[in-house]
Amino acid sequence: MNLKGKQTFQTDAQAIWNILMDTNKLAAITPGISKLERIGEDQFNATSDIKIGPVKGSFSGDLFLVDKKEPHAFTLKIKQESKIGNADATVRILINEVEDGNSELSFDGNAKLSGTLARTGQRVLTGVASSLTKQFFRGLEKELDSIRETIPLEEIKEKPVSTKKRQNIFVQFLNWLKGLFKS
Amino acid sequence: MTYIGKSVKRVEDRRFTTGKGQYTDDIKLPNMTYAYILRSPYAHAKINKIDTSAALAMDGVVAVFTGEDVKDVGGVPCGWQVNFKNGDVMKEPKHPLIAHERVLHVGDNVAMIVAESKSIARDAADLVDVDYEELDAAVDAFKAVADGAPQVHPEAPNNMAFDWELGNPKEEVAEALSNAAHITELSFVNQRLVANAMEPRSAIGDYDDAYGRHTLYTSSQNPHLTRLLLSAFVLGLPEHKVRVVAPDVGGGFGSKIFHYTEEALVVYFSHKIGRPIKWTAERSESFITDAHGRDHITKAKMGFDAEGNIVGFQVYTHANMGAYLSTFAPAVPTYLYGTLMQGLYTTPKINVDVTGVFTNTTVVDAYRGAGRPEATYMIERLMDLAALEMGKDPAELRMQNFIPPFDGVNQEGYATQVALQYDSGNYEGVLRKALDLAGYSEMRAQQAATSNGKLVGIGFSTYIEACGIAPSAVVGSLGARAGLFESAQVTVQPTGKVTVYTGSHSHGQGHETTFAQIVADKLGIGIDDVEIVHGDSDRVAFGMGTYGSRSLAVGGSAIVKSVEKVLEKGAKIAAHLLEASPDDLEFGAGKWTVKGSDKSVAFGDVSLTAYVPHNYPEGMEPGLDFSSFYDPANFTYPFGAYIAMVEIDKETGKVDLKRFVAIDDVGNVINPMIVDGQIHGGLAQGIGQALLEGAIYDENGQLINGSYMDYCMPRADDFPSFEIGRQHTPCPHNPLGVKGAGEAGCIGSTPAIVNAVIDALWKAGHQVKDIRMPLTPERVWKAMNN
């Protein structure tokens, strides 16, 4: 199964990197994770509970971080086992700074599933993965927001204002105008 | 005839419709334990270590067994030997009862947990710690034979189980094709199917220490063969100390013919723990452990002369065997497939070349039709495609190539290029009937006139199958390791009631009704006076079971033989009572009458005399009880012609089956209602393959649609009302003149549907040769939009 996704955040790469490397914060924002424990330099033990349609399982196993290039890239190797089958995934994560001081977090990888998980869940899994990804990005956004709140006011002022947000307001205004003409 | 030819209501339906059926899982024995089988989540892996200690420590767990515990007993044997082209015996690696050191497919047995309840056994399975080292898997039959592909068995290089060919020499076929005016070529996949019997497999092993006897209750189509394989080949038990009972069985479709590991495990370990053990498959287990069907990758070429006569036919097939050779597996893509390449046509040169391939997938074996649907699908797809390519009418192209009618009595049977001799046939007859029933010309007019955003297509299929398997000498020469006769014992009770013990096994076919109709008519008694007993090796001396549409043709004929012996002896007793010569008697309406007189003696008086032989022929043994073994002289060859009409939504690619016309010739018919039911069920299954079903493995050997959420089974609203009819060309070589009807619908229907869709697309300007089955809306849409 292919895993792919990306999202732009109003922050620099380092801020995202810091959250992703913080075990507690990562555990808090990743959906389904009930325990995440650092057991080595770049090795973690994770326990998660996931329910996918009719398939429900408690997973546990190791996560490894390899090929780290702070703050722009790392590869996550995941080996999770459960009674309903095992998942074996390798995902490359990139954090690239894009225009206006924003950063794009993207990932691309592959998961190999086995057992009941493969047999009864595969078709719905893609949908589930994208919904979990959205939850993760929302969690990350929230985490970034909470950091921003604690940053001194003058620093925020120096931050570039998101053009995306401005565009959104502009688009909304245009739509409102169009609406007026239609009625 | 009071009963034969009448739609007598099924006597077995009373218990089935009132919930009184007794299936294996309904049986509860005192002190019984329950087994759960831990199965491999990987298609191919090394087992480094298994730790069962935590499971064993759990409350309620009786025992945990692994491959180590059965490594010294036999594996499940294969019942049919196919040789390589060079004469070498096929590769036949051991299929262990529990995998040892290596697992070879998802679902392979890894450990058996025996506990006080099923749920405890299941929970304990979670505590068995298995250290796997995953290996690359061979999945696709075509890729698996390539150099460098992952190897399933070290003793089978390039994963080849066998290679095999049949028919005329390849050079002769090549020459015929080189002179052809037109060649139609087709490469296609006949996809893998899961049988999905309504009742999952179940087995109970029960060892009786007092008598030293083993009893196996099992959901089997074939209890006696299971007993033979289990006792002689797997566990080395004395056969007379083994009883196998197959009680009510909820459908088989082939998947319950075979001897499975679970059957041997419950028998073996029941002895070890001294308590009965029951195992019943969960549905998701059935998906990965019941033998699958089909899974062929084929390339075929058919040549025609300028007039449209077939001149040559060359076939190459890679048949996926799965991880082991199941009981009949090698026979399916060879002797049940290659031998059908003649179809109903006069094709003068035919060669079929088959490679049997091991892969890291569930075993593949006989599934309703077994080989004949694969052959029929190919031939009939080629015929419709050739008609489209040559601009001919598909019905006319068939008519001109049909073998002319022959009855097998006045005209000889038809000797094919591929080892068979057809018994009797009138192929034009069924196609003409089908065209009439369909109203073919109006159908075509309707097709041309449709303009509601739908594409309309009309597809044909004709079929012939070899069933009523089979003459033992013939199948023996073809590699069968068993005889394929059938036995029947007819016991007339003193009061004139009759008990029939048949080696056939009913798991939905209605034997208890059909067989009783025959016996009641032949003896002139009421159908309620006949009881049919089947499925218990302690009650029925021997049997070869039910598959290959053989029950009536072979099992029914064995019953007739015994009934004839009863009548012959009965006539002698009657003659004695009537003080006449047996030659002067005639039997009818349940009594023997002296010809030309009103002197008669009733069947019941004769049977009573046989058991109370006070006034009895001198020197004659008492009793009225005969056993017979019937070994047929030939296969039987039912045939038929099908026409499908489909409508395709242009926007979505969804195929709607609007009409399905089926004319079958299954010889004489004993119970038309039961035959109709068999045809309906077969059509549903065959159409299911064309439109809905298909097991999908990913490249790691994971079955990714192993549940009803993803594996699409046909439902009533997928079908129109079937328009069916029959022609009756009796089988010349069995006493009933019957040919078999169980698989016909499934064999003939699949290509008709696909042909109809292809026809619709061609008529709309999309000259598509093939769409891979099942024809999902997505695939049809893509074919229309490429």
Q: Could you give the CA distance from residue B730 to residue B732 in angstroms, rounded to a whole number?
A: 6
Question: Is A114's CB within 8 Å of B284's CB?
Answer: no
pLDDT tops 60 at residue B168: yes
Structure-block tokens of residue B80: 């049919």
pLDDT in tens, B240-271: 999 999 999 999 999 999 999 999 999 999 99
Question: What domain range includes position A125?
Answer: 2-182
Q: Are B462 and B431 in contact (CB under 8 A)?
A: yes
- At residue A161 the predicted structure's pLDDT band, cuts being 50, 70 and 90, is very low
Which residues pair with residue B49 across a beta bridge?
B131
- Tell me how far the alpha carbon of residue B509 is from its chain's centroid: 12
Is the four-CA dihedral B107, B110, B113, B119 of positive or negative sign?
negative
Q: Which residues pair with B356 in a beta bridge?
A: B162, B319
Closest chain A CA to residue B704? A119
pLDDT in tens, B180-230: 999 999 999 999 999 999 999 999 999 999 999 999 999 999 999 999 999
Crossing angle of helices B511-523 and B557-578, in 10° steps, is: 30
Predicted pLDDT at B50: 98
The residue of chain A with its CA nearest to that of B128 is A83
Q: Is the pLDDT of residue A162 over 50?
A: no
Burial, A179: exposed, middle or buried (Cβ in 10 Å; 0-12, 13-18, 19+)?
Answer: exposed
Q: Is the pLDDT of residue A160 over 80?
A: no
pLDDT of amino acid A1: 82
Residue A165 pLDDT greater than 50, yes or no: no
pLDDT at A156: 47
Q: Tell me what the mean pLDDT of segment B123-127 comes to.
A: 95
pLDDT in tens, B582-605: 999 999 999 999 999 999 999 999
Question: Pick the residue with more confidence: B541 or B644?
Answer: B644
pLDDT for the residue numbered A166? 47
Q: How far is B42 from chain A (nearest CA, A)?
A: 6
- Which residue of A86, A119, A123 is in closest CB contact with B287? A119
Tokens of B576: 């004695």
Tell me, what's the ipTM?
0.70
Q: Using 50, 70 and 90 to split pLDDT, how confident is the model at A54? A: low
- The total number of structural domains in chain A stands at 1
| Three-class secondary structure of residue B493 per DSSP | coil
Instruction: Read off φ and ψ for residue A16, nearest 5 degrees.
Output: -65, -45
Task: Mention every residue, 6+ apart, whose C-beta is less than 8 A from residue A45.
Answer: A35, A36, A37, A39, A60, A61, A62, A63
> Strand B102-103 to strand B45-51: parallel, antiparallel, or no bridges (unpaired)?
antiparallel
| B480 φ/ψ angles, rounded to the nearest 5 degrees | -65, 140
Q: Are strands B414-415 and B421-422 parallel, antiparallel or unpaired?
A: antiparallel
pLDDT tens across A69-111, in order?
999 999 999 998 888 888 899 999 999 999 888 999 999 998 8
| Cα gap B181→B171, rounded to integer Å | 18
List domains and CATH numbers for chain B.
Answer: 13-135+198-251+256-289 (3.90.1170.50), 293-469+634-785 (3.30.365.10), 485-630 (3.30.365.10)
B531-561 in b/e form (b: 16+ CB < 10 A) is bbebbbbeebebbbbbbbbbbbbbbbbbbbb
Beta strands in B467-596 (DSSP E): 486-492, 498-502, 530-533, 585-588, 591-594
pLDDT at A181: 61
pLDDT for the residue B96: 98
B710, A54: Cβ pair inside 8 Å? no
Distance CA(A33)–CA(A22), nearest Å, equals: 14
Which residues in A lie closer than 8 A to residue B287 (C-beta atoms)? Answer: 119
pLDDT at A118 (0 to 100): 85
Q: What is the pLDDT of residue A85?
A: 85
pLDDT 10s digits, B58-109:
999 999 999 999 999 999 999 999 999 999 999 999 999 999 999 999 999 9
More confident residue, B469 or B661: B661
Look at residue B645 in the predicted model and tell me its pLDDT.
Answer: 98
Nearest chain A Cα distance for residue B705, angstroms: 5
Q: From residue B226, how far is each of A100, B1, B260, B267, B629 by CA, in Å? A: 75, 37, 9, 12, 19
Contacts of B448 (CB under 8 A, 6+ apart): none
What pLDDT was estimated at residue A148? 75
Residue of B nearest to A85 (CA): B41
pLDDT tens per residue, range B601-627 = 999 999 999 999 999 999 999 999 999
Residues of chain B contacting A, Cβ within 8 Å: 41-42, 106, 126, 134, 284, 287-288, 698, 700, 702-707, 709-710
Q: In DSSP terms, which residues pair with B115 in a beta bridge?
A: B34, B61
CB atoms closer than 10 angstroms to residue B228? 21
Q: Which helix (H) or strand (E) holds B244?
A: strand B242-245
Q: What is the pLDDT of residue A164?
A: 47
Q: Average model confidence (pLDDT) for chain B? A: 96
* Chain A environment of B361 (Cβ under 8 Å): none
Using an 8 Å CB-CB cutoff, list chain A residues near B698: 118, 122
CB distance B646 to B459 below 8 Å: yes
Indicate which CATH number applies to the domain containing A56.
3.30.530.20
Whether residue B272 is predicted with pLDDT greater than 80 in this model: the reply is: yes
Rounded to an integer, the average pLDDT of B639-660 is: 97
The residue in chain A having the minimum alpha-carbon distance to the alpha carbon of residue B43 is A114
Q: In angstroms, rounded to a whole number, what is the distance separating the alpha carbons of residues B479 and B60?
A: 47
Q: Given a cut of 60, is residue B283 above it in pLDDT? A: yes
